[in-house]
Amino acid sequence: MTQTAHDRLLIIDFGSQVTQLIARRLRELNVYCEIHPYQKVTDAFLAEFAPKAVIFSGGPDTVTREGSPRPPQSVYDLGVPILGICYGQQVMMQDLGGRVEGGKISGGGGTAEFGRAWVTPTEDRIDLLSGWFLDAREQVWMSHGDHVAALAPGFAVYGTSPNAPFAITADLERNFFAVQFHPEVHHTPNGKTLYENFVRLAGFDGDWTMAAYREEMVQAIRDQVGDAKVICALSGGVDSSVAAALIHEAIGENLTCVFVDHGLLRLNEAEEVVGMFRDHMNLSVIHAQEQDLFLGELDGVSDPETKRKIIGRLFIDVFQKYADQIEGAAYLAQGTLYPDVIESVSFSGGPSVTIKSHHNVGGLPEKMGLKLVEPLRELFKDEVRALGRELGLPDSFIGRHPFPGPGLAIRCPGEITRDKLEILRKADAVYIDQIRKHGLYDEIWQAFVAILPVRTVGVMGDGRTYDYACALRAVTSVDGMTADYYPFSHDFLGETATRIINEVEGINRVTYDVTSKPPGTIEWE
């Protein structure tokens, strides 16, 4: 639980796939909220958290099952507004004296509903629904098997859908609201209005702003680390950059950043990152020039996992070597974000398959006996960007596409050589320049070139060429977990291919990768 002076909303997670989206919608309304799994929410927890309002998330279980997830009964005695969503609605009804029945998927009287549905209002309009039903009906997204069969005492119906006669219910006396659909998802287009009404009637005044967060965090960092020294692995990515800028504001020269140059960076990347932080922002940055070490150990290696493991291991060794030179370092700064710390309820269980070993600095703090400073732990990615802007980092930097820790190594299938990396860097720079020139950069989640381990025959002028082929990759995505290829125009692709072949010696063929994720991954390795 975080100490904050703001009014707080508690989201009790019952295991819905979309609980995080509830938090997103609320943060967009400048309301401070935290998600906690239902198992953790005890009477004592509630007393300490002191929420100004509570939301029950959806979830995959059925309240008709003995032992199904529930909040402590005391949540209903807090005297604060509660909103139950889907499973959360059923929990409220069952807990408060109503009745829930298992759904039938099809056939006469079928009550399960999955996907788009339309809710129509009953006669009385309530504040929760202000701005709703401007048309005769509202589109919502349903995903439920069970349904409420009898309302709990005190509740009335304010909206119905063909398969959910209790789609919107409320006990206005106690300010308890319960809906069968998911207002947090994109397919409930007016869902944000419902959250807006809920937090307004709960008395939130939208004081969760980035300026306030910056001020509070600066103080919190000072309180946490005092006069101790902090080190930070600066990658040039948005998260570590914003974390470094914030910590620097708090403790000035007691922060030292280490930028590890593994020789797998993009064109001019090291100069840009080090230049910006050292020269413009006055941070103390050690530029660890370790290209020979990394490229030496990667020599002759073509297996993707082996590459990743080598880079991960060397990174830790190198970081440790430089950090050891910083006398009195007691803290390690990390750009951990909120999605990484939410203890979501997982009902799937079981180990998942390792698709790729992601490279990060996990494991370092224990190994080096360092404590952690994680000033972004409460933020989502777009909030980190907003904080970065607030701290004066240039937009061009904040909006940069993600770049993986192992860098160009995983965009160079097969053996990595300095020659190939040089060609790749140039081709990538031309491609990104094209994307920027055509005003497409911000529409794309990530774009890069992969140099392929094949050479093909071409003809330039009157001569034969035998050079590398490359693949262009550009994807749209929300979180990197799934992705689709970006639909460039043929003109754009043709122009880009011509530029790369003309401007980059060593490439004579350009292809475009049209694989989505899944089944592909974003990176090639």
Give the contact letters, 350-369, x = binds to ligand XMP (CB under 6 A), - = no.
------x-xx----------
Number of residues engaging ligand XMP in binding (CB under 6 A): 13
Distance in Å, CB of 164 to ligand XMP, minimum: 37
Q: Which stretch binds ligand XMP (CB under 6 A): 136-144, 148-156, 294-302, 517-525?
A: 517-525
Annotated catalytic residue within 144, 147, 182, 287: 182
Mask for 386-415, x = binds ligand XMP (CB under 6 A):
----------------x-xxx---------
Nearest distance from residue 394's CB to ligand XMP, in Å?
A: 21
Catalytic residue among 113, 138, 184, 525: 184
Closest distance between ligand XMP and the C-beta of residue 405, in Å? Answer: 4
Residue window 470-499: x/- pattern of binding to ligand XMP, with contact defined by CB under 6 A: ----------x-------------------
Question: Quick check: is 138 catalytic?
Answer: no
Q: How far is the CB of 340 from ligand XMP (least distance, A)?
A: 12
Helix axes 490-503, 418-437, angle to 10 degrees: 140
Residues 331 and 373: their CA atoms lie apart, in Å, by 6
Our finding on whether 446 is near ligand XMP (CB under 6 A) is yes
The answer to whether residues 154 and 173 touch, using CB atoms and an 8 Å cutoff, is yes
User: Is the omega angle on the peptide bond into residue 51 within 30 degrees of 0, that is, cis?
Assistant: no
Nearer to ligand XMP, 83 or 522 (CB): 522
The binder of ligand XMP chosen from 92, 157, 185, 522 (CB under 6 A): 522
| Smallest distance, ligand XMP to C-beta of residue 378, A | 21
Q: Which residues contact 112 (CB under 8 A, 6 or more apart)?
A: 103, 104, 105, 106, 144, 145, 147, 163
From the number of C-beta atoms within 10 Å of its C-beta (0-12, 13-18, 19+), residue 135 rates as exposed
**Does the active-site annotation cover 272?**
no
Tell me if 83 contacts ligand XMP by CB under 6 A: no
Q: Which is nearer to ligand XMP, 96 or 273 (CB)?
A: 273
3-state secondary structure of 83: strand
Short-list 372, 461, 360, 345, CA closest to 40: 345
Tokens 């122009």, residue? 495
Instruction: Judge contact between 256 and 322, C-beta under 8 A.
Output: no
- Residue (of 411, 441, 437, 405) closest to 424 by Cα position: 411
Is the distance from CB of 448 to CB of 485 less than 8 angstroms? no
The pairs formed by 167-175 with CB atoms below 8 angstroms and a separation of 24 or more are 167/117, 167/119, 167/140, 168/119, 168/128, 168/129, 169/89, 169/93, 170/126, 170/128, 171/96, 172/126, 174/76, 175/80, 175/81, 175/82, 175/201, 175/202
Catalytic residue among 86, 232, 257, 412: 86
Alpha helix ranges (H) inside 234-303? 238-251, 269-274, 291-298
Alpha-carbon distance of 427 to 496, in angstroms, equals 10
Listed ranges 92-100, 101-109, 465-473, 514-522: which one lies at the site for ligand XMP (CB under 6 A): 514-522
Judged on CB neighbours under 10 Å (0-12, 13-18, 19+), 216 is middle
With a CB cutoff of 8 Å and minimum separation 6, the contacts of 119 are 137, 138, 140, 159, 160, 161, 164, 167, 168, 181
Q: How far is the CB of 176 from ligand XMP (least distance, A)?
A: 41
Please identify, among the stretches 175-183, 224-232, 429-437, 516-524, the one whose residues bind ligand XMP according to the rule CB under 6 A. 516-524
240 alpha carbon, distance to own chain's centre: 14
Binding mask 122-161 vs ligand XMP (x if CB under 6 A, - otherwise)?
----------------------------------------
Nearer to ligand XMP, 374 or 495 (CB): 374
Instruction: Write down the least CB distance from residue 158 to ligand XMP, Å.
Output: 43
Least separation in angstroms between residue 356's CB and ligand XMP is 5
Which single residue is written with the structure tokens 């590459």? 307
Which residues have CB under 8 Å from 508's CB, separation 6+?
456, 457, 458, 460, 465, 466, 467, 468, 469, 501
Among 4, 344, 456, 521, binds ligand XMP (CB under 6 A): 521
Is the Cβ of residue 117 or residue 409 nearer to ligand XMP in the bound state? Answer: 409
DSSP annotation of 359 reads -
Helices (H), 142-261: 191-202, 210-225, 238-251
Separation between Cα atoms, residue 204 and residue 346, nearest integer Å: 30
- From the CB of 315, what's the least distance to ligand XMP, in Å? 10
Tell me whether residue 470 is one of the annotated catalytic residues: no
Task: Find the shortest distance in angstroms from Cβ 404 to ligand XMP.
Answer: 3
Nearer to ligand XMP, 196 or 239 (CB): 239
Q: Which residues are catalytic?
A: 86, 182, 184
Binding site for ligand XMP (CB under 6 A): 356, 358-359, 402, 404-406, 446, 480, 517, 521-523
